[in-house]
Structure 1
Amino acid sequence: MNENKRYLFGLLAVLAVFLAFSLLKKPDRAGSVATCGECATIAMPNLEGNNMDIPDKEYKKRLSPEAYRVLREKGTEKPFSGKYYYNEEKGVYVCGACGNPLFTSKTKFDAGCGWPSFYEPVSPESVRTQTDRSLGIERTEVICGKCSSHLGHVFDDGPQPTGQRYCINSVALDFKKETGAPVKTETALFAAGCFWGVEAQFKKVKGIIKTTVGYTGGHIVNPTYRDVCTGKTGHAEAIQVKFDPEQVSYGELLDIFWEIHDPTTRNRQGPDVGSQYRSAIFYKDTQQ
């Protein structure tokens, strides 16, 4: 009798193992996780147009050779050569490979580096970052948050409020122009010593669209550096600032002007001595 019980229990145990194994081998195809043998044939879901599953040959068809080199092979275009570096139109910059919105014109600023620069993406999901050691130094690469195409790099020397500079290749972008009234801009002209140092300070300011350095206030046309250094032309080293008054006012620019130099030292700023380094404000209209 005991032997029969042992046989019966053994048979039930075998049936239980067989039943469990059968259930594991029959997953619900609609929502289960595939077994290892099936992973290679089941594609990842297409989440809101995610382009991760687009074959490389399709990118070659849709992109120019230069765009493909930058976006898909992590290349870099020559500085100051991109069509969007000097673009001042209002709109949205999107990924050149998949059309994902990346940056807006409101966060674009002139960093003087030769590539379009932005201090903030459209959203945290618009771009992703990863470590890049391709040149023997560690940098932070910026890639599209949707298709993972290479866009450029990000550095911690940008303007507030983020302090970041997203340095992006023009050829990696497309631009969607905003329809409506053009952006209203104003111009300010300041002299506060060596124009390179002054320009570096103003480029950090949110709302600055473009900066141009040169000489002004003198009595000869198109003077050279040597001409100005003689002190006989009457020119001052100056910076012309083009700004969006909706983001920064002329009064706020004046506050910055007073803060970044010492107007009480006549014809001198730090080690730079000469009448070309004098402090001056060249107003554009009666309001200024």
Structure 2
Amino acid sequence: MKSHYITWLKYLFITCLSTVYSCGQKNDMKNTSPNNPYYSHTDTTKLQVSNEEWKKILPLNLYLVAREADTERAFTGTMWKNDSKGTYYCAVCGNKLFRSTQKFTSMCGWPSFFEQENKNSIWFRNDFSHGMERVEALCSRCDSHLGHLFDDGPAPTGKRYCMNAVSLDFVPDTTTNNNEKETIVLGGGCFWCVEAVYQNLDGVEKVVSGYSGGNVANPSYEEVCTGTTGAAEVVEITYDKKKTNLDEIFKVFFTVHDPTTLNRQGADVGTQYRSVIFYKNDNEKSIAQSIIDELNHSGAFSSKIVTKLEPFTAFFPAENYHQNYYNNNANKPYCEMVIRPKLEKFEKVFKDRLKK
């Protein structure tokens, strides 16, 4: 039986790392500030950013509406009558707000919705400006002004979320195909633990426990445990690029294991338990190195990260009894004492990114 102690990371530093999305189009359908370091479709960490800082980052028209509660002119742009399928995000921070199925074309001249995608994505307060009594709608992540909420919408809610188009980014749906699926191979100690965590991350479609990085083709568990094959216990993660990305996958990775102990996790010692990322291309290597550099610079850990970046050569699935181990053996002592605490930590830090 393996024995581990749980090393709790200083995850406040980690959860502050944002995934940056550059939206690209030059119209009112997309974010026009690609250099915004706070913009992310996956990070729901509450932002505390001053208007002085936002003014340096945001385009002027977006800043005036989002941060100073200005109102754009009605019937400007095309978003108010857009009926394409897709998702609407906060243009300031990337927080998911609405789906196209919640939108209707009203004659007010602003994009209108009868329901929000996530009940926690928008908050409200009374607005008595301009001699009127209204309900202001603000993004729950960055507190930016979005528009107002009225009680004259269609069924089933009877609500009308009257939004400023400049405060919204629209990302159209695309047909899912194999080009949107990627795999990454990671090792963070016992593969039972790592597998159980990633099985619960939204956007991850499959997790397979196995071995990689060694000099023996298709090694057995017993061979890997000797530490002589050079192979590490790893998981192969298949994920949908529309729902998650490498930044988030690596963020989870550095949260649920200790990347500062060389060739060991807790009481498990040997190169088979090393912290390792097997990259398939320069892009994967660059993203991994960037996050490692950021964590080292931030002081998130008391010691320097020793995670190895190794070129991927081959992945060998582990024996069947290793697959889906936690779900099949949740009541066993190892699962209760070692895996369960890691899962609880993951669920706490990434509570908004769990599979439904």
Category of TM-score, reference length = shorter chain: 0.3 to 0.5
* TM-score using structure 2 length: 0.37
Which has more helix, going by share of residues?
Answer: 2
Higher relative contact order (CA 8 A, sep 6+): 2
Which is greater in Rg?
1
* TM-score using structure 1 length: 0.45
